[in-house]
Amino acid sequence: MFEGVEAYRELLTTCDFSPEEIDNELPRLKKAFDKAGLTVEDVKRCRERMITYFEADTLRGARMALGLHIRAFVDMVMAGEEHDVRIYGHLPLMAGHCVLGAAELARPDAYIGLPDLICHMVLGAFFNKLDPLLEASEAWCLPAGLAHCGCSQAKIGGRLTDVVPPATLHVSAGNYCDEAPKVDEVLAYHFKEPVVWCNRCQDESFDDPPMDDRHLKYFSANIRRTKDAISEAVGAEVTNQMIMQTMMATEEVGKEFKRIQDYRAESDPSPISVVTTDMAAALVGIDMTPRGLSKVAEMMKVLADEVQDRVERGVGVVPKGAPRVMYAYVLPFASPAVGKAFEEAGLNVCVREGYGSMPIWSRREEIAKLDPCDIVAGIFLHNPTLVKPRWRADVVVLGYNKAKLDGIVMLPHYSCRVFGTDFPMMRDMVRKELGDIPITVLETDVFDPRYYTAEQARTRIESFSEMVRAAKASAA
């Protein structure tokens, strides 16, 4: 064996690996960790962070989720040696997960994954060692200090450091982001790796309906083009039936995750940390193939059952009666300490933006008339967080009233021109509907923990907690 093997065994035990799985997987995992520059001390720190931030000492479902993340990371790093075909999606792909995941059904021996999200979760959130990827990218083509997205930097840095093997095809997120498609063009030019761009109309006005004919037709046509490119890359057709099968697997995960969301929204005290919840939810974008989603669904059921047990026993992560707040839209992936800081300040971060809104699946009669690529486009165009501020504000108001909340935290992503600019408008729209409720706009960086640290955020969070408590007391 190798020096420090017990630290590796303890980590894998914390990630719900059985003794037999540890014996079988340890040599491969050690090889992957060595490729990524992870040391024994890193492994020890990773286990400590899993317990500190993700409730790995008390929830088996959390340990299962952590294990799925670690397996996904090892699979990604080793994909260059183990798979001839490697198809990468990139954040914020969002609309294309079901199409990308369906490629596994067409070519079972292909590797399908989202390297940037995997790196942010494992190297960032778990190991706190994302900096080498970000710095490699900054030294090469995305200089520091110019508000380049950390997601794009990790994508480039992963390839430059060989943490991420070469791709057979990159699927680019032209449907939402402005920088990611340009960075993917750099990948195509420098690394000679093909890219397909999945685009949509982004010239919508505040008055456009959520799924008008123009937006739907253009976007679904791009999804079909993406499907054809993936089929060519894997050497077999990705059929509509395969896409539907992947969507159904995703829905099974969603049913169990909804149980967790509802328990968090309706229970006092909150039975599970927002940090643990978000970590588990990220697996929908990581294990996006039907085979992977079946494991995520199993994990999600175990976690939902444990959350239900906590509710029945009155166990919570914050005191009973803590102020209840919504967060819009996402906590930093690579810095779990930010989410934990809200709970340490005595806030029950119990719902996420989008809670209470009507999912597209509730319109089954209308959806049944569409083909799978139209459905995938419709899912995206019905997600208020991904389209226009007016609709986002309406959904925030709906969730605030439904969950009977006390405040709202808005978390603009500083380095994103699309996602980081509309929160002041949203705040004004929400206050026009709800009055002078406690709202804070807390600028963060979802992908780069170096610029907005948990320590910097903590002071703002504690001040917001005092504001919410004062407003709640005066309203009593």
DSSP secondary structure of 296-314: HHHHHHHHHHHHHHHHHHT
State the pLDDT at residue 280: 97
* Per-residue model confidence as pLDDT tens digits over 418-441: 777 888 889 999 999 999 999 999
Q: What is the DSSP string of 349-377?
A: EEEETTTTPPPGGGGHHHHTTS-HHHHHH
State the pLDDT at residue 47: 98
State the pLDDT at residue 369: 67
Q: Please, are residues 233 and 413 in contact by the beta-carbon 8 Å criterion? A: no
State the pLDDT at residue 175: 81
Amino acid at 428: D
Nearest one of 384, 367, 417 to 220, comparing CA atoms: 367
Partner residues linked to 408 by β-bridges: 326, 439
Amino acid at 223: I
3-state SS class at 225: helix
State the pLDDT at residue 358: 61
Is the bond leading into 329 cis (omega within 30 degrees of zero)? yes
Total residue length of the chain: 476
State the pLDDT at residue 275: 97
State the pLDDT at residue 170: 93
Q: What residue spans of 333-453 are helical by DSSP H?
A: 336-344, 364-367, 372-381, 389-403, 423-434
State the pLDDT at residue 206: 66
- Cα(464)–Cα(456) distance, rounded to whole angstroms? 14
Q: Please, are residues 125 and 333 in contact by the beta-carbon 8 Å criterion? A: yes
State the pLDDT at residue 96: 64
* Per-residue model confidence as pLDDT tens digits over 28-48: 999 999 999 999 999 999 999
The hierarchical CATH code for the domain 318-476 is: 3.40.50.11900
CB atoms within 10 A of CB 94: 19
- For the chain, percent helix, then strand, then coil, each to nearest 5? 60, 5, 35
* Per-residue model confidence as pLDDT tens digits over 211-230: 678 888 999 999 999 999 99
Q: Please, are residues 139 and 163 in contact by the beta-carbon 8 Å criterion? A: no
- Cα(163)–Cα(76) distance, rounded to whole angstroms? 8
Partner residues linked to 112 by β-bridges: 87
State the pLDDT at residue 167: 96
Residue ranges of the chain whose pLDDT lies below 50: 361
Any idea where the domains of the chain sit in the sequence?
1-60, 318-476
Which pTM does this prediction carry? 0.95
What are the residues whose beta carbons fall under 8 Å from the beta carbon of 39, sequence distance 6 or more? Answer: none
